[in-house]
Amino acid sequence: MASLAARLAEHRAVRDEAKATFDAHYAALKADMEERGIAGRLADEAIDKALDVLDEAVAVVETHPAVVGGTFTALVLWILRNPIIAWITDIFGALSNRRSDEHESEKGA
């Protein structure tokens, strides 16, 4: 019986130590939640992830600058496609009108 009582006392001591550790962690977490709140914690997490993505993007640019430059150029051309097409149409339209006017003046003469 003494052996069982000793084991029971030992198990209670381990249990009490685990509960004390849990209570300490819980109190620290509760204090942190009261200090920053859930929104603050989410904002911190979002900022950390954004910085990680930025670091990875910088690494990609450093290792493959030509690919990134080509992609950027293609993106800019795609965004500006309508003004570029209008500009080209104006240039070729003006040339076409000149040729048409010259052709009509030759017929009229």
Handedness of CA 52, 64, 61, 74 (dihedral sign): negative
pLDDT at 66: 95
Check residue 40 and give its pLDDT.
82
Structure token digits, residue 53: 């993505």
DSSP for 75-109 reads HHHHHTHHHHHHHHHHHHHHHHHHHHHHHHHHHH-
Q: C-alpha distances in angstroms, 39 versus 29, 45, 91?
A: 15, 10, 56
Q: Is the dihedral of CA 8, 10, 13, 18 positive or negative?
A: negative
Instruction: For CA atoms 41, 47, 53, 58, give the dihedral sign.
Output: negative
pLDDT in tens, the chain (109 residues): 689 889 999 999 999 999 999 999 999 988 888 887 788 888 889 999 999 999 999 999 999 999 999 999 999 999 999 999 999 998 888 777 676 666 666 665 5
